[in-house]
């Protein structure tokens, strides 16, 4: 019991996945619990707390760390697309074309915002750099993702509404953080007094995101629409890609002589791919293509895998730094 109490975060994630398999209608987006709305509020709360905790000096240091920013954006928009250039023909040779192009779509997506910052927070990494890079990736992705799709898949890209994307990012991220910064002089003593409770908020939000993601994957029929072998094969590829990128970015961060906090931000921002932006972008880019479900399968598999594995990694980082 003592061990389980220490590892409550990991136990809760496994429980969330198991619960999603038997109660997907409850935890799905738009379901009874409205978890998509709840997690959005939770994410805003996490950013508000980041705003309270971050000193202006730390924010300035995070934003001006241009070497780290270049490294993270290169991982997202250069290293991942190179995987398609290297292995795209092989994927097209032994799986349906729509599914193979789904991996192409996965590789050219931008990073997530919420879970990248939340994982960096749990792991005690460079939070200002994570916030900056996750936001920058989302904005760059509005332009880069359709361009890559056009280059790699020979499709006409679609114009996406940049202002809507920027507004969504600001509403989710910048506004709560700015409010937190403005209230920092008033609430800093309260935050320091209740630090043990507040430090659990981001972990609870991640658990809810995991539950919601797996509920949505069950509702969308990921586990039933395709043959078991095809699903296992896709899961194996997604897992292999994630492990390759995580440990490749860690190796590269050490070679670039980044400190541990910068390495953490690089790992969690550079390896993530967004499902939240990926689905609506796909609907715009591919329209009413009947193969849309198969195109989206890789990102819908990769999303829960990346959250679960990166949460384990974040917990390991946090313990190592605590020691």
SS (H, E, C) the chain: CHHHHHCHHHHHHHHHHHHHHHCHHHHCCCCCCCHHHHHHHHHHHHHHHHHHHCCHHHHHHHHCCHHHHHHHHHHHHHHHHHHHHHHHHHHHHHCCHHHHHHHHHHHCCCCCCHHHHHHHHHCCCCHHHHHHHHHHHHHHHHHHHHHHHHHHHCCCCCCCCHHHHHHHHHHHHHHHHHHHHHHHHHHHHHHHHCHHHHCCHHHHHHHHHHHHHHHHHHHCCCCCCCCHHHHHHHHHHHHHHHHHHHHHHHHHHHHCCCCHHHHHHHHHHHCCCCCCCHHHHHHHHHCCCCCHHHHHHHHHHHHHHHHHHHHHHHHHHHHHHHC
pLDDT of residue 169: 56
pLDDT of residue 315: 86
pLDDT of residue 238: 95
Distance (Å) of CA 254 to CA 65, 117, 242? 16, 21, 18
Residue 155 has pLDDT above 60, yes or no: no
pLDDT digits (tens, 9 = 90+) for 205-222: 777 877 877 787 778 776
Residue 156 has pLDDT above 60, yes or no: no
List Cβ neighbours of 153 (8 Å cut-off, separation of 6 or more): 101, 104
Q: What is the dihedral of CA 14, 15, 17, 23, to 10 degrees?
A: 170
Other C-beta atoms closer than 10 Å to the C-beta of 123 total 28
pLDDT of residue 157: 46
pLDDT digits (tens, 9 = 90+) for 274-294: 876 777 677 677 765 656 667
What is the distance between the alpha carbons of residues 222 and 120, in angstroms, rounded to a whole number? 29
256: tokens are 């670039």
pLDDT of residue 76: 94
pLDDT of residue 75: 95
Closest to 301 (Cα-Cα) out of 242, 249, 247:
242
The pLDDT of 196-200, averaged and rounded, is 68
100: tokens are 């193979």
pLDDT grade, residue 201 (50/70/90)?
Answer: confident
Residue 164 has pLDDT above 70, yes or no: no
Closest to 122 (Cα-Cα) out of 19, 261, 249:
261
pLDDT of residue 223: 61
Residue 113 has pLDDT above 90, yes or no: no
Q: Which residue has the higher pLDDT, 33 or 80?
A: 80
Q: Which residue has the higher pLDDT, 102 or 286?
A: 102
Percent of the chain scoring above 70 in pLDDT: 79
pLDDT digits (tens, 9 = 90+) for 39-62: 778 777 877 877 777 667 766 766
Ordered by start, the domain boundaries in the chain are: 2-322
Closest to 72 (Cα-Cα) out of 60, 87, 62:
62
What is the distance between the alpha carbons of residues 288 and 20, in angstroms, rounded to a whole number? 29
pLDDT grade, residue 323 (50/70/90)?
Answer: low
Domain 2-322, CATH: 1.20.1530.20
pTM of the model: 0.71
pLDDT digits (tens, 9 = 90+) for 234-259: 999 999 999 999 999 999 999 999 99
């Amino acid at each position: 019991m003592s061990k389980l109490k220490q590892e409550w975060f990991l136990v809760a994630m496994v429980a969330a996945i198991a619960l999603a398999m038997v109660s997907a209608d409850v935890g799905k987006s738009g379901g009874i619990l409205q978890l998509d709305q709840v997690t959005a509020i939770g994410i805003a709360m996490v950013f508000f707390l980041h705003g309270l905790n971050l000193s202006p000096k730390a924010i300035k240091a995070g934003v001006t760390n241009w070497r780290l920013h270049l490294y993270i954006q290169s991982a997202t928009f250069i290293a991942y697309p190179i995987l398609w250039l290297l292995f795209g023909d092989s994927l097209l040779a032994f799986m349906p074309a729509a599914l193979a192009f789904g991996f192409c779509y996965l590789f050219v997506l931008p990073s997530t915002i919420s879970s990248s910052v939340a994982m960096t927070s749990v792991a005690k990494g460079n939070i200002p750099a994570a916030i900056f890079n996750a936001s920058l990736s989302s904005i760059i992705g509005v332009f880069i993702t359709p361009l890559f799709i056009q280059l790699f898949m020979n499709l006409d890209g679609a114009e996406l509404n940049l202002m809507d994307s920027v507004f969504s990012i600001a509403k989710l991220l910048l506004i709560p953080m700015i409010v937190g910064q403005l209230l920092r002089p008033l609430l800093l003593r309260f935050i320091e007094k209740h630090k043990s409770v507040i430090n659990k908020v981001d972990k609870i939000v991640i658990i809810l995101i995991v539950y919601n993601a797996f509920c949505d994957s069950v509702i969308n029929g990921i586990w039933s629409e395709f043959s078991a072998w095809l699903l296992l094969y896709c899961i194996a590829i997604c897992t292999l890609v994630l492990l390759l990128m995580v440990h490749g970015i860690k190796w590269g961060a050490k070679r670039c002589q980044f400190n541990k906090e910068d390495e953490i931000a690089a790992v969690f921002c550079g390896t993530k791919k967004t499902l939240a932006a990926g689905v609506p972008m796909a609907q715009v880019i591919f329209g009413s293509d009947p193969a849309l479900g198969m195109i989206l399968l890789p990102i819908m598999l990769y999303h829960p895998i990346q959250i679960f594995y990166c949460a384990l990694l974040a917990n390991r980082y946090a313990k190592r730094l605590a020691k």
